[in-house]
Structure formats: structure tokens, C-alpha cells
Amino acid sequence: MQVEVQAQSLSQPDFFISGSIPGLGSSGKILFMNKYVIILLGPTCVGKTEVSILLAERLNTEIISADSMQIYRGMDIGTAKPSLELRQRITHHMIDICEPSEEYSTGRYIEEVKKIIDKLHMQGKIPLVVGGTGLYIRAMTGGLFPAVSAQWTLREELSRLEDEQPGYLYQYLKELDPEAALKIMPGDRRRLIRAIEVCLLMKGKISELQKELTRPLPYKFIKIGLTRQRKELYRLIEERVDRMLEAGLIDEVRWLLGQSPSRTTLQAIGYKELIGYLNGEVTLGEAVRLIKKRTKLYAKRQFTWFKKEPDIRWIDVTGAGDPSEIARLVYKELRIQIEGEVL
């Protein structure tokens, strides 16, 4: 059962017959020649999914998901996937592409996405990338550093040392690569461990290696960001968590536990907390409270991440409940940006 979008609420509004983007027409020739890719981004629960369906229909294109959890089959409710009905209405890529038992890297994601983008360009379509996983979007637009694969034994040892000596990871990275340490918060254990791991395994400073080896994908990206006032966004998050539980999230978590889930899927917000409940570690009420709290913190981190991304045109949709109203604003912004390029 899906909870993110109800298909029947997304009827085609009048903006579908308004002015068109130059070059789209029936073939998208101009935009195809310029290798455009549109990215619709923003924090979780801001309303990207609903708007993306309307935009894809208006632009006669297909959607590429940029969500690191929606890639997993069977994890439908907790990741707020678009419903099957919506995915039949508009072709979606990079959803349900691997099993929950698999680890999936950003490098693998980029390899697959490049093939899809090139295929859509050959069809005269302008790809519409939609999601909130900042690393995926940055890897597309800024390039991906071809680092070594994760070595879990090393990661576990580094994490143990941090538990024993709080602040150890940050100090160690400062010794290995002072420049890299300046870009990572002292409490960001995941990023600190990854930076140290790369320095040790690639025998160099990650800051220097990134500059030497990182190359962006060869497309022209147009980035549109949706935002809402925090109070409204947090209310929407709480309401969605409640809908997820009503839709059967606990049963989905029970199912996941029988799939030999990977480390990544076990850490996904909503699943991790309910696993604690099913294991008798916390009450259901406490698990739900933690899901809501951690989802809000995740949204806050997304805001922080995207603030560092260049060339995003932000649209404040606070108070806007009608997806067609938001889609109209996004489409208007697309016209402004593209007309400036092709006219």
C-alpha cells in the first residue's frame, strides 16, 4: 500500500494548456541539443512527488528518482514511493532496482542514471530528476569521486575508537588531511569515517584526490528547489508518519527483517525505530516519536546540504496545498531559465 500520493487527486490543471517552453514542441530539439536535465529537489515531505507527476506530463518526459531508499524493492510505505498507479501513468526510473539485502553505491547509481539520461535525450525528452538525496544530486551535477569501496572492518574499528575516545575521528582526520577536516562537522561520524577510510586506502589526502579525479556528468542542469516554512513542513512530516503507520508500515518492517537486510536498509528512518519496537527495546509510542523526530532532523540536514549547492532556484510553497498550483510555479521558473538560454 502506498501513502505518498493519491493518483486521483492529480488531475491535469489548466496550466497544461498554457505557454510552452521554447524548443520542447513535439521533439524537444533545442533542449536535446543542449543536453538539458531538470532537477526538482527539496527536503522530504515538501511535495516533490505530486508536482513531478504533473511536470512530467506537461513536458512529455520521464522521471528519474534521486532517492537512496526508494531503490529497494519492498520498502514502499516507509520510503513514500509513488504508487504503482502513478508509476504506470508516468515512467519512473531508479525505483525498485535492487533487493534490501544489497548495498548500493553512489557510483553504481551514477552509472545507471547516465545511461537513462542519454536514452531519454536520444528520444528527444528532457529527463526530470526528482528527489532529496543530496549526494546523488551532487554526484550528478558536480561529479563523483571514484573512491575505493567501503571496508566494513575498518569502519567498525574506527567507530569503536570514536566510542572509546569521543572526538578521535575528527582529530585523526585533521592529522591525515586538515583541508578535508575543515569541511566536515566534528560530530558527523559517517563522513569522518569515510574520509579517513579513503585517505588510508588510497594513500593520499582525500581533498587532493577529489580535485584531481572528480568530473561532472556532461549535461546542463536546471535545478529547482521546493521549500516550506519549517513549522508547516514538520506538521506535514508528522501527518505522513501517521499515514504510514495506518498503511501498514509495521508489517512492512516485519517483512524486511526476513529479507537478510543490508546495513543501509536497517538504518533507514522509520525502519530502524520500528525494529527497536519489534525487538522489545522501545514502546510503539516511543518508536513513533523517534521516527517523527529523526525525519525532521533529516529534513533539516537536507536544507543544510542544499544551501551549499550552487544555482538552485528556490520556490517557497508554504501554504500551497494544491500540487497543480506548485507545478505552475515550477513550470514558470523553467520557462524563465530556459528562455534565457535558447532565445
- Give mean pLDDT in consecutive 10-residue pieces for the chain, a chain of 343 residues: 42 43 45 79 96 95 97 98 95 97 91 95 94 94 79 92 95 94 92 93 86 82 96 98 98 97 95 98 98 97 92 95 92 83 48
112 and 92 share one domain: yes
Angstrom distance (rounded) from CA 200 to CA 187 = 20
Q: Are 262 and 103 in contact (CB under 8 A)?
A: yes
pTM of the entire structure?
0.80
Return the ∠ at Cα 311 (arms to 182 and 94), rounded to 5°. 90
Angstrom distance (rounded) from CA 342 to CA 163 = 55
205 and 237 share one domain: no
Task: Using DSSP, state whether 312 is helix, strand or coil.
Answer: strand
84 and 230 share one domain: yes
Domain limit, last residue, from 213, 236, 255: 213
In the chain, the DSSP E strands lie at 36-41, 63-65, 92-93, 128-131, 220-227, 312-316
Element (H, E) at 47: none
Angstrom distance (rounded) from CA 184 to CA 95 = 30
Count of the separate structural domains present in the chain: 2
Decide if 2 is inside a domain.
Answer: no
| One-character DSSP codes across 171-231 | HHHHHH-HHHHHTS-TT-HHHHHHHHHHHHHHTS-HHHHHHHH-B--SSEEEEEEEE--HH
pLDDT of residue 32: 53
HSE-CB for 302 with a 13 A CA cutoff: 25
Decide if 16 is inside a domain.
Answer: yes
156 and 180 share one domain: yes
Task: Using DSSP, state whether 26 is helix, strand or coil.
Answer: coil
CA end-to-end distance (rounded Å), the chain: 46
State the residue for C-alpha cell 509495521. 250
CATH number at residue 48: 3.40.50.300
252 and 272 share one domain: yes
204 and 158 share one domain: yes
* Cα 52 to Cα 27, 84, 256, distances in angstroms: 20, 15, 28
284 and 316 share one domain: yes
Decide if 1 is inside a domain.
Answer: no
CATH number at residue 171: 1.10.20.140
Domain limit, last residue, from 213, 242, 259: 213
Q: What is the length of the chain?
A: 343
| Full residue range of the structural domain in which residue 84 is found | 7-144+215-342
157 and 265 share one domain: no
Task: Using DSSP, state whether 131 is helix, strand or coil.
Answer: strand
